[in-house]
Structure 1
Amino acid sequence: MGKGNRDDRLSNLPDDILLTVLDRLIVPNAVRTSVLSRRWSLLPSMLSQLIVSVLDFLPHNGPIFETNEVVQSNRAVVEATTSILARRDSIRNTINLLSITFFLKDGDPISIGRAVAQTMATHKVEMAEFTIMTERDATQCVDDNIASYGKQFILFFDACRDTFSGLTRLHLENLRFGESDITNILILCKRLKDLRLFNCDSGDMTTLQADHSQISVLGIVDCLFSKVILNWLPKLTRMTFEGWIAYHYPLSVCYAPLLEAFNLTNTGLSWHEMIELSKFLHGTSVRDLKLGFKGEKIWVQPECLTKKLASVFSQLRFVNLDEIPEGYELTWTLFILKAAPLLKELYMTVWDHLCKMETDNEKRKALSYSDNKGVEWESPASNFQHKSLVTLTIFGFQSEEYMLKFIRHVMAGL
């Protein structure tokens, strides 16, 4: 602009370009632009993506779980959600994404739920997401906390059933459900495509059974279920299953034929039974497999190649073995190469992450951590061949004999 030219070129842009810009801002910043002019005041109500997160209203310094901050930030989410949704034009403006993150606190969730329900009844909402947080994180929660949070959530769920029936994504944490609560949630939330549970359970050693026609992404992390059974998930393509407590096979896949990306991570304790991957992956179409060990006991049982095992691994293209404990034999991983002839990429992280691991010997003994974390598998190098592997990457590589021995085995078969 020349000197003295007061033209506002930004405001002269068409609505669709300005809305594209505002869609990339967090909601508080997008709403602040409404004070610029009468025209700008209308734009926030026309956004195609409404992403309202309590984290954007919390102070940048200080603990985020401070009670006063939680109350104030949650109220800000309620006000922002109800204000923006009330001003929407139901004829002109489709909502491509409505995503709200908030704390399970007092009556705020019900206020949010009712505002969203009204919007769903009068607008086209393609994707609707709730991420529901609790005031205490998992490390601070005791049984009384998760039981109380579970009751609060069910009250919210029962009060806003119309809202939940339209959700496409639901992330929950630190909740104790009743025996049939999760089943009822799955029945009501017919549009649900993405469900993630973190530190949740249904009481002492109960089984979680999953049946749903639309879920494509499922995450179950640090949940105290005795077993998870995937009865019927015909559209499931991605799953994370991390931190199980069961001694014997914590997961059963009955029907998930499209499952192609699988993340299995656990801290193996001395009493955990070794798991045969062919049983875990049977009936799936896994192409991308991550196995995480958190620097502790290897919980995978190396298997001899059979026709059944070969069929389970036949579609594998990418394998990531994460946080394998340091100093232990690596040749057991060759059984995956032998069973997956079309594998293209193998990534391994050999690392004892001391910040995450329990290092106190007395505590390790009390919590049943294993002294011997390794596993052996006898596979002569002479009969090992693999013609498809393109990439082998070892993060944390050191010139130790056990690593060099593994490299020699792999190179001999290529």
Structure 2
Amino acid sequence: MNSAAVQVPKNILTRRNLAVVEATKNILARRNPGEHTIRLLSTGFYLRDDVPISIRHAVGSAMATHKVEQAEFTVLTEKDPMQCTLRDMVKYAVQFVSFFNVCLDAFSGLTRLCLENLAFAESDFVSNILVTSKNLKYLCFCNCDTESQITLQVEHAQLSELSIEDCCFGKVELKWLPRLTRTKFAYWMSYKDLPLSFGHVPLLEAVTLINVALSWHEMVKLSTLLVNTSVRELHLRFECEKIWVQPECLTKRMGYAFHRLRIVNLDSIPEGYDLTWTMFILEVAPSLEEFYMMVMDHPCEMEMNKKRRWRGSYSKKKGVEWESPTSNFKHHHLTKLIISCFESCMVSHVRRVMKAAVNLNDVYLYGRLACMECQHLEPKPTTFPLSKKHRVSMRKLMAQGIESRARIHFLSYAEMPADHAARIMY
């Protein structure tokens, strides 16, 4: 990211924390213990001074005297991840550990916990959080670390959603999570291979993987990663850089890994490369129903300087080549193909999908996404069909020689239905 981060002044942090404490106390003072259930008690605060301890007393009292269905802590730091040094993260972790140790009663009742910018000196402290917070259903780590980058083995009876973003925990093993349904793992730029594995996750339905792959990164074999799961939704985001997923041919192992897959979202695919490789998803996922793709270069989020790209080992060639070993392949369950940032050079790929997906009902093609951060840059010329005449001509070209009932829709982002926006604008 090239945008500058802003540090919040310390006196403002103190005032915000005090406001949280007072608001929590005032709200709870007006409620009679045991009379009404508190559906959600959500508290966000900064690690600063003794205010977190005051928050602990207020929240702990609420849990002891009221029935609380859901309780959430969002623990913030005065610097955001882009500003934090390792020294800052160690300091914040010391503050958090101190807070945690005197707030065990509050943590034992939490159902959601969000942490950022912490570098734990004790290698097993993350395990301590999981052991203490037995009711956790949602856990998020952002820009967190452990000493010596240990292997983190995650076991928890209640956890249903886990998000790990830009962390250095070493290898992350989701060993025993019987109620886990969704997980997000973002950025493993410090590791050659994806440092994530799945153990007992029988209810896992949705997996999101995000990375800026450099030239030395190994390709990820999804058949190996997902073989012990029954994933229904898969979101892979490439951040407009090198494709890091390895196209694979259908085998018994692949069939088992993807036998329940219904929705795939391939996000931020770099522009200017052949899309044939994406067809392997159709071949290994016979039950796939919806296929989302966004093909774009996003300068405001990319490293554009040539010297820095070379020094950072960014890939010159970002695409991947693949040729299907199966001639005249047919897919019988795909009903929707959705492509964002569509350009006329993608016509051949749309035809390829239409030919293979014999029960395809709709093809939604959206124009280029406008970005507020990129407005200062010269806009790229688009070949998205804007006129009615151009669209009619392109529809005929796509359907020529193909027996398909699919309806082809050319739409702007303003016309996007809510279900598409929920996945494309993730």
TM-score tier by shorter-chain length is: 0.7 to 0.9
The letter for the 1-side match of 2:344 is S
2:258 alignment counterpart? 313
2:321 alignment counterpart? 376
The alignment's C-alpha RMSD in Å is 1.4
Distance in 1 of aligned mates of 2:152 and 2:349: 39
How many equivalent pairs are there?
351
**CA deviation string 1:137-186 (max 9, x = no partner):** 00000000001001100000001000000000000001112201000110
The letter for the 2-side match of 1:155 is S
How far off is 1:381 after superposition? 7.0
Q: 1:362 aligns with which of 285, 307, 312?
A: 307
Moved more, 341-350 or 278-287: 278-287
The answer to whether the 8 A contact 2:34-2:67 is kept is: no
**CA deviation string 1:271-303 (max 9, x = no partner):** 111010011112112111100000000000011
1:90 alignment counterpart? 33
How far off is 1:63 after superposition? 5.7
**Map 1:157-176 → 2, pairs under 5 A:** 157-176=100-119
**CA deviation string 1:350-391 (max 9, x = no partner):** 000110000001111111111111111111573321111111
TM-score, normalised via structure 2 length: 0.80
1:73 alignment counterpart? 16
The answer to whether the 8 A contact 2:152-2:171 is kept is: yes
Moved more, 379-388 or 156-165: 379-388
The answer to whether the 8 A contact 1:227-1:246 is kept is: no
- Is 2:169 aligned against 1:225? yes
Distance in 2 of aligned mates of 1:147 and 1:255: 32
Distance in 1 of aligned mates of 2:80 and 2:6: 12
How far off is 1:243 after superposition? 0.7
**CA deviation string 1:105-125 (max 9, x = no partner):** 111111101111111111111
- Is 2:330 aligned against 1:385? yes
**CA deviation string 1:231-278 (max 9, x = no partner):** 100000001111113212311101111100111111111111101001
Q: Percent identity?
A: 54
**Map 1:117-132 → 2, pairs under 5 A:** 117-132=60-75
Kindly tell me: are residues 269 and 63 of structure 1, through their superposed partners in 2, closer, same or farther at Cα, counting changes over 3 Å?
Answer: closer
The letter for the 2-side match of 1:238 is R
The answer to whether the 8 A contact 1:194-1:218 is kept is: yes
Distance in 2 of aligned mates of 1:103 and 1:154: 14
Distance in 2 of aligned mates of 1:392 and 1:379: 19
- Is 2:52 aligned against 1:109? yes
Distance in 2 of aligned mates of 1:308 and 1:258: 19
Structure number with larger C-alpha Rg: 1
Distance in 2 of aligned mates of 1:375 and 1:405: 17
**CA deviation string 1:178-222 (max 9, x = no partner):** 201000110010000000000001023322110000000000001
1:185 alignment counterpart? 129
The letter for the 2-side match of 1:382 is S
Stretches of structure 1 lacking an aligned partner (at least 5 in a row): 1-61
- Is 2:243 aligned against 1:283? no
The letter for the 1-side match of 2:23 is A
How far off is 1:100 after superposition? 0.6
1:9 alignment counterpart? none
2:366 alignment counterpart? none
**Map 1:281-360 → 2, pairs under 5 A:** 281-360=226-305
Kindly tell me: are residues 307 and 380 of structure 1, through their superposed partners in 2, closer, same or farther at Cα, counting changes over 3 Å?
Answer: closer
SS of equivalent residue, structure 1 residue 153: helix
The answer to whether the 8 A contact 1:302-1:335 is kept is: yes
SS of equivalent residue, structure 2 residue 184: strand
Distance in 2 of aligned mates of 1:120 and 1:412: 59
The answer to whether the 8 A contact 2:213-2:243 is kept is: yes
Distance in 1 of aligned mates of 2:327 and 2:284: 16
SS of equivalent residue, structure 1 residue 220: strand
Stretches of structure 2 lacking an aligned partner (at least 5 in a row): 358-426
